Structure 1
Amino acid sequence: MTTVDHDPCRVAREMFAADTASRALGIEVLELEQGRATASLAVTETMVNGHGITHGGYVFLLADTAFALACNSYDLPAVGARADIRYLRPTRLGDTLTAVAVERSRSGRNGIYDVTVTDSAGAVIAEFRGDSRVITPR
């Protein structure tokens, strides 16, 4: 009899595989385990705003992607119920941004996750918090 290892992060992996927006921007998943995810994004020419810095929407999108991976890492589909971000310092063309999402609390169908986004030098450039809600699959 052959046993098959159960992948608790299956939902997160499948979600990311179907996430054409994140993948089209070049977001890469660096780490994925229950309650935690790390993703990265290289800032390209099309991601820079009129001030010559990375558009905040791309920073948010990277943080939101890491959040989504972490809150879907328990083999249960979850969505964001609320999210906010604090931008602390700018980044520029050529920087690689890294977002580390960590579960802070999980109770019933609700979860709270913090995401720290850093630049190529490891400096913290943004802090994101997201609330998740497990949903019933269709």
Structure 2
Amino acid sequence: MSMIKEFKEFAMRGNVIDLAVGVVIGAAFGKVVSSFVDDILMPPLGIMLGGVDFKDLKMVLKQGAVDAEGKITDVTLNYGNFIQSLVDFMIIAFAIFLMIKLMNTLNRKKAASPGVPPAPTKEEVLLTEIRDAIRTKPVV
């Protein structure tokens, strides 16, 4: 029974829930970026390159035979899909870079804004008392 209790405490910690939310949002963001690349970015790029659709780029390694359903199955090296994945990755990496840069800028502005200074730590209070005691002590 204690193992179930420990698991429940682990699963309900903020970090685990935050991670789960991040994974779900990341998956949705990946779909949006893939759609952007597939549907908006790659068609004009393909036209500029002479009407090439990157998904159709492949190298046939071995000619296939007709299977039972009448389909011809070639063994291919689909480098067009790889190029598409690289473009997806670069866009996602750039978007994450911009988000982190924005967060860092906001954190710097927040830290630089004047406000109430934080309360001194126990060590700072103790060091201040020691300094004040040394100053009030007569020099021999």
TM bracket (short chain): under 0.3
TM-score (norm 1): 0.24
Bigger fraction of residues in helix: 2
Structure showing greater radius of gyration is: 2
Q: Which has the higher contact order (CA 8 A, sep 6+)?
A: 1
